[in-house]
Structure 1
Amino acid sequence: MSATLPESIAEKIIEDKIQEWEAKKSGRSGKEPGIGAYPFIAISRDYGCLEEKLIPLFEKKFQWKVYGRNLLDHIASRDALNRSFIETLDEHHANQLDQWVHYLISSGALRPDEYLVKLSKLMKVIVTHESAIFVGRGAHYILADKPHGVFVKLTAPFAYRAEHIARLKNMSQMEAELLVRRIDRERQEFIQHHFKQDIEDASHFDLSLNTRTIPADMVCQLVARVMEIKTSTGW
């Protein structure tokens, strides 16, 4: 989900999910577990660290839907879609959702920004219904209280990332370096503005993986192993 997602595809994904979750809602017994019961992966990544290769590998290995910036922003920007997502919860879970967002705001973990509140609710609704892979958008802060999530940072040295982007986008090394610096800065500013956090603080992650030195399949295996441990032990 790193590339721009065509609106028609986004709409189809959302429509299918709403229908799926509404069907599940109608079949609930009333003993559904509380919000956040499903395992998930939250990925933060430095630009140029092979995310275009790694994210599809995660999706294939775990067989979970990937929610990246484009899809999440598309839902958050459309009030009707946003409401439809939330309405897939029953009244009890909807009340829990409001209480959770109020707690995040009152505790200072979340700014009372309309966009961020919408984004937070979307992520909560998703993990209430199914396991998922979140890419970016501060998921590791929004979902930090969930014990069955694995929080991953994908990184690599700047020179390696710039060289990779130069090859990937067929641009000069200087152009690639400027692009990597700009996107790194934009991501840092997003986290600082919305969460008042340092994106470089490794304490927010279970794993920080150097994609220059760790092969892609090993990255997936390491995340899968940590997920296995967390879901089996309540780590």
Structure 2
Amino acid sequence: MDKFVINIGRQLGSGGKAVGELLACRLGIRMYDKQLIALAADQSGIRPEHFEKADEKESRGMLSSLVYYLRAPFCGDNATVANVLSNDALFKIQSDVIRDLAARESCIFVGRCADYILRDHPRAVNVFISADEEDRIERLCRLHGITPEEARTRMRRTDASRADYYNYYSSRTWGEAATYHLCVNSSTLGGEEGTADFILEFASRKLKTRF
């Protein structure tokens, strides 16, 4: 079977990661999310915490990078080359890791602008998962032990950060239907299991492959 990739964009609390895990299990392939940080760090020799700070955040810009560069000689033991790398450079390293993985195996990527990075991949399925606000809040409260108000704040901040990151690097619009092959509401589809079923059926049709 020809290699394929499923790229998942998601609102915080929509169950996107869990859906990715279900799809990976059913298809017998790997899902990459935070694992990309460790892989990028290993490939580049840069400490993982630098990728974590830049994870799904847009570039801090030339001025801020210059400030980091000027401060670096005075930062003591923390003055590594990674201190002056812009988020753009870290994005480039992570992009190379994503392209390398997609060339070697069928897999699922969650976030990290993977659909744009793999825009020339001949067998890619790009999906965006949203959910009703009450379901997102309930899921976040259950998973993280936070209050509904804390969940709302986290949703607002994280979604804004993801949108800024995606829009900056792709020059597309995060969450907009025209950006993806398929946009789904996990609340409408009955949660994570139903959403995984729907995406799998769509992927089978798009890739003309029986899973």
TM-score when normalising by structure 2: 0.71
Letter in 2 for 1:123: I
For residue 185 of structure 2, what is the aligned residue in structure 1? Answer: 210
Q: Does 1:56 align with 2:12?
A: no
For residue 72 of structure 1, what is the aligned residue in structure 2? Answer: 36
Task: Identify the match of residue 126 of structure 1 among 73, 97, 101.
Answer: 101
Letter in 2 for 1:76: A
Does the 8 A contact of 2:23 with 2:200 survive in 1?
no
Q: Does 1:231 align with 2:207?
A: yes
Q: Relative to 1, partners in 2 of residues 1:172 and 1:155: Cα closer, same or farther, differing over 3 Å?
A: same
Q: Does 1:138 align with 2:113?
A: yes
Deviation (angstroms), 1:133 = 0.5
Deviation (angstroms), 1:79 = 4.1
Q: Structure 2 regions of 5+ residues with no counterpart?
A: 47-86
Could you say what the CA RMSD is over the residues aligned between the two structures, in angstroms?
Answer: 2.2
Deviation (angstroms), 1:203 = 1.2
Deviation (angstroms), 1:181 = 0.9
Deviation (angstroms), 1:147 = 2.6
For residue 220 of structure 1, what is the aligned residue in structure 2? Answer: 196
Does the 8 A contact of 2:113 with 2:166 survive in 1?
yes
Deviation (angstroms), 1:211 = 0.8
Deviation (angstroms), 1:202 = 1.4
Alignment of 1:61-210 (within 5 A): 61-68=26-33, 70-80=34-44, 113-210=88-185
C-alpha separation between the residues in 1 aligned to 2:128 and 2:158? 16
Does the 8 A contact of 1:147 with 1:230 survive in 2?
no
Higher relative contact order, structure no. (Cα contacts within 8 Å, ≥ 6 residues apart) = 2
Q: Relative to 1, partners in 2 of residues 1:177 and 1:124: Cα closer, same or farther, differing over 3 Å?
A: same
Which moves more between the two structures, 53-62 or 173-182? Answer: 53-62
Q: Structure 1 regions of 5+ residues with no counterpart?
A: 1-36, 83-111
SS of 1:197's partner is coil
Aligned length: 167
C-alpha separation between the residues in 2 aligned to 1:66 and 1:142? 16
Deviation (angstroms), 1:116 = 2.3
Deviation (angstroms), 1:167 = 2.6
